């Protein structure tokens, strides 16, 4: 009691008189207590424990005026040390998560990964709603920051970020259905790095001149201008057909739906080329009546017309080859996707269970060892944006133990959290995730889907729950 009285006197002297010797004496008396608690919570990291100790006493100096009289200073310092160390641990977890995302982003630059996404990107973009698609276009294809995106969409910056996030997630899910598995962070990195390609140097000038000439001429465009524009269109169409053929050759083992879309596209392009060919043939029949087209231009026109015919033939042959290979190519990516999706679901559920049980332990530490009775009590311990702080998560999991932590005989064997419903993997096995009182999580497998025996072995019921039974 004398020790506590002296602590209070020293604290009052510092708070009211600003006595540095009094504060120094308080530090000397309690520095071992604070440092030891921080060291244990930080798994023996002495450097971080020293930082926490400095923070705790700095907070004491700042809050000394507001501490109530009669406070047990050792108890306050101990709790504040634990709280500060817990925040440091969470900060380290977030840092490691950011580093993991950074690794994914560096992996995202791999050329082969982007080659798997690029042919499917526009198809996936079409699956988005208008708002998400416009947000993705502005953020990645126009390379705007979120503030500029918000201004363009006439919404707040937070709303713009949410639209981009929703769009990325929908793109990721659609790509996964097509056999390309990538995280949202990696997808964002790839869109940032690869989403925009520089057009040829002279293309803008060429397009501008042609468009303005066409607009100025109105309905009275000369035959010479039409011939030149037809040649330009023919070159563009030729390049497009070549690109389509190359894409078909590289991605011949994609799903049947994609192959059919590509075949339809080739057919449409071939029809366009046929129209251009007919137009060129008509124009070529009048070379002598129009002095604006010289002999070299006529030769180039004839060469392009011949090349178009060859490309049309190759396109038709490629379409036949793709149709023959479609049957065998259709099943393989779908089976792979199902297996990968099941594995990702296992990891996600186990991660959610792990994060929740750690959050429950933090709640217990701040509430005299009492476990929460519902998830709403725990939500203040989660930071904004935590992926497991969702209504879906609270619906999927339930808190099993609602008593005092000191009453748990075997923390490593006692469940405090479980998934409400079991789920089945593609191989027919059933799974459930559980969180235990010592902070670890487990994924349990049952061939017949019956988990009763396992749960009864690891659930410790409180006196109230026993009475209710």
pLDDT per residue over 292-318, tens digit each? Answer: 556 666 666 666 666 666 666 666 676
pLDDT beyond 80 at 370:
yes
Domain-ending residue, one of 163, 194, 225:
194
Whether residues 345 and 434 fall in one domain: yes
The answer to whether 268 touches 244, Cβ cutoff 8 Å, is no
What pLDDT, in 10s, does the model give residues 373-395? 988 888 777 655 455 455 445 67
Domain-ending residue, one of 86, 105, 124:
105
pLDDT beyond 70 at 251:
no
Residues facing residue 433 across a β-bridge? 443
pLDDT beyond 60 at 193:
yes
CATH of the domain at 76: 1.10.1740.10
- The pLDDT-based confidence of 259 (bands split at 50, 70, 90) is low
Predicted local distance difference test score (pLDDT) of residue 111: 60
Whether residues 19 and 48 fall in one domain: yes
Predicted local distance difference test score (pLDDT) of residue 467: 52
pLDDT beyond 60 at 46:
yes
Whether residues 355 and 415 fall in one domain: yes
What pLDDT, in 10s, does the model give residues 154-183? 999 999 999 999 999 999 998 999 888 888
Radius of gyration, alpha carbons of the chain: 34
Whether residues 358 and 380 fall in one domain: yes
- The pLDDT-based confidence of 3 (bands split at 50, 70, 90) is very low
Whether residues 97 and 52 fall in one domain: yes
Whether residues 158 and 225 fall in one domain: no
What pLDDT, in 10s, does the model give residues 141-152? 888 999 999 999
Angle, CA 354 vertex, CA 50 and CA 352 arms, to 5°: 125
SS3 annotation, the chain: CHHHHHHHHHHHHHHHHCCHHHHHHHHHHHHHHHHHHHHHHCCCCHHHHHHHHHHHHHHHHHHHHHCCCCCCHHHHHHHHHHHHHHHHHHHHHHHHHHHHHHHHHHHHCCHHHHHHHHHHHHHHHCCCCHHHHHHHHHHHHCCCCHHHHHHHHCCCHHHHHHHHHHHHHHHHHHHHHCCCCCCHHHHHHHHHHHCCCCCCCCHHHHHHHHHHHHHHHCCCCCHHHHHHHHHHHHHHHHHHHHHHHHHHHHCCCCCHHHHHHHHHHHHHHHHHHHHHHHHHHHHHCCCCCCCCCCHHHHHHHHHHHHHHHHHHHHHHHHHHHHHHHHHHHHHHHHHHHHHHHHHHHHHHHHHHHHHHHHHHHHHHHHCCCECCCCHHHCHHHCCCCCCCCCHHHHHHEEECCCCEHHHCCCHHHCEEEEECCCEECCCCCEEEEEEECCCCEEEEEECCCCCHHHHHHHECCCHHHHHHC
Predicted local distance difference test score (pLDDT) of residue 319: 64
Residue (of 122, 123, 75, 448) closest to 257 by Cα position: 123
pLDDT mean over 184-204: 80
Domain-ending residue, one of 105, 124, 150:
105
Whether residues 20 and 38 fall in one domain: yes
Predicted local distance difference test score (pLDDT) of residue 88: 92
Which single residue is written with the structure tokens 């991660």? Answer: 351
pLDDT mean over 411-418: 91
Q: Which long-range contacts (CB under 8 A, 24 or more apart) does 256-264 make?
A: 256/326, 256/327, 256/329, 256/330, 258/119, 258/120, 258/123, 258/178, 259/322, 259/323, 259/325, 259/326, 259/329, 260/326, 261/123, 262/322, 263/319, 263/322, 263/323
- The pLDDT-based confidence of 133 (bands split at 50, 70, 90) is very high
Cα(22)–Cα(66) distance, rounded to whole angstroms?
17
Whether residues 124 and 95 fall in one domain: no
Predicted local distance difference test score (pLDDT) of residue 83: 93
The answer to whether 308 touches 277, Cβ cutoff 8 Å, is yes
Split into its structural domains, the chain has a count of: 4
Residue (of 356, 417, 352, 409) closest to 382 by Cα position: 356
The answer to whether 89 touches 42, Cβ cutoff 8 Å, is yes
For 22, other C-beta atoms within 10 Å of its C-beta total 18
Task: Share the mean pLDDT of the chain.
Answer: 76
pLDDT beyond 60 at 408:
yes
Whether residues 57 and 17 fall in one domain: yes
Whether residues 445 and 392 fall in one domain: yes
pLDDT beyond 60 at 430:
yes
Predicted local distance difference test score (pLDDT) of residue 138: 93
Regarding pTM above 0.85, the answer is no
pLDDT beyond 90 at 85:
yes
As a residue count, the chain comes to 469
CATH of the domain at 189: 1.10.10.10
pLDDT beyond 70 at 248:
no
Q: Which domain range does residue 57 map to?
A: 2-105
pLDDT mean over 42-62: 92
Whether residues 225 and 307 fall in one domain: yes
**Burial call 243-274: b when 16+ CB within 10 Å, e when fewer:** ebbebbeebeebbbebbeebbebbeebbebbe
What pLDDT, in 10s, does the model give residues 12-39? 899 888 899 999 999 999 999 999 999 9
Whether residues 428 and 352 fall in one domain: yes
Cα(165)–Cα(319) distance, rounded to whole angstroms?
37
């Amino acid at each position: 009691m004398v020790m506590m009285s002296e602590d209070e006197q020293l604290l009052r002297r510092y708070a009211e008189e600003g006595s540095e010797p009094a504060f120094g004496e308080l530090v000397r008396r309690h520095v071992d207590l604070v440092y030891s608690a921080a060291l244990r919570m930080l798994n023996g990291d002495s450097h971080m424990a020293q930082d926490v100790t400095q923070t705790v006493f700095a907070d004491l100096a700042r809050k000394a005026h507001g501490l109530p009289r009669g406070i047990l200073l050792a108890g306050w310092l101990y709790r504040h040390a634990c709280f500060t160390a817990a925040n440091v641990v969470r900060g380290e977890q977030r840092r490691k998560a950011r580093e993991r995302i950074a690794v994914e982003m560096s992996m995202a630059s791999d050329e082969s990964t982007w080659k798997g996404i690029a042919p499917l990107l526009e198809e996936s973009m079409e699956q988005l709603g208008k708002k998400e698609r416009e947000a993705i276009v502005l953020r990645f294809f126009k390379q705007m920051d979120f503030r500029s995106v918000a201004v363009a969409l006439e919404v707040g910056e937070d709303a713009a970020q949410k639209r981009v996030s929703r769009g990325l997630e929908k793109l990721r899910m659609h790509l996964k259905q097509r056999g390309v598995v990538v995280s949202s962070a990696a997808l964002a990195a790839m869109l940032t790095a690869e989403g925009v390609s520089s057009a040829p140097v002279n293309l803008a000038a060429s397009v501008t001149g042609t468009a303005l000439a066409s607009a100025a001429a109105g309905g009275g465009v000369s035959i010479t201008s039409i011939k030149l524009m037809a040649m330009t269109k023919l070159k563009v169409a030729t390049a497009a057909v070549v690109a389509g053929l190359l894409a078909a050759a590289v991605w011949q083992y994609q799903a049947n739906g994609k192959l059919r879309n590509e075949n339809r596209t080739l057919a449409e392009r071939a029809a366009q080329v046929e129209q251009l060919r007919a137009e060129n043939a008509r124009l070529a029949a009048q070379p002598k009546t129009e002095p604006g087209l010289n002999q070299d231009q006529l030769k180039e026109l004839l060469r392009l017309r011949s090349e178009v015919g060859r490309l049309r033939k190759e396109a038709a042959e490629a379409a036949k080859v793709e149709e023959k290979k479609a049957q065998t190519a259709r099943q393989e990516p779908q089976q792979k996707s199902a297996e990968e999706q099941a594995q990702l679901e296992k990891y996600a559920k186990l991660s959610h269970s792990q994060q929740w049980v750690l959050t429950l332990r933090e709640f217990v530490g701040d509430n005299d060892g009492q476990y929460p009775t519902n998830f709403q009590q725990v939500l203040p311990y989660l930071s904004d944006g935590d992926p497991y702080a969702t209504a879906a998560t609270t619906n999927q999991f339930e808190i099993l133990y609602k008593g005092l932590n000191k009453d748990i005989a075997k923390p490593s064997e006692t469940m405090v959290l479980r998934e409400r419903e079991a789920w089945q993997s593609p191989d027919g096995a059933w799974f459930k995730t559980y969180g235990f009182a010592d902070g670890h999580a487990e994924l349990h497998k049952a061939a017949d889907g019956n988990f009763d025996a396992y749960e009864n072995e690891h659930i410790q019921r409180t006196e109230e729950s026993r009475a209710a039974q």
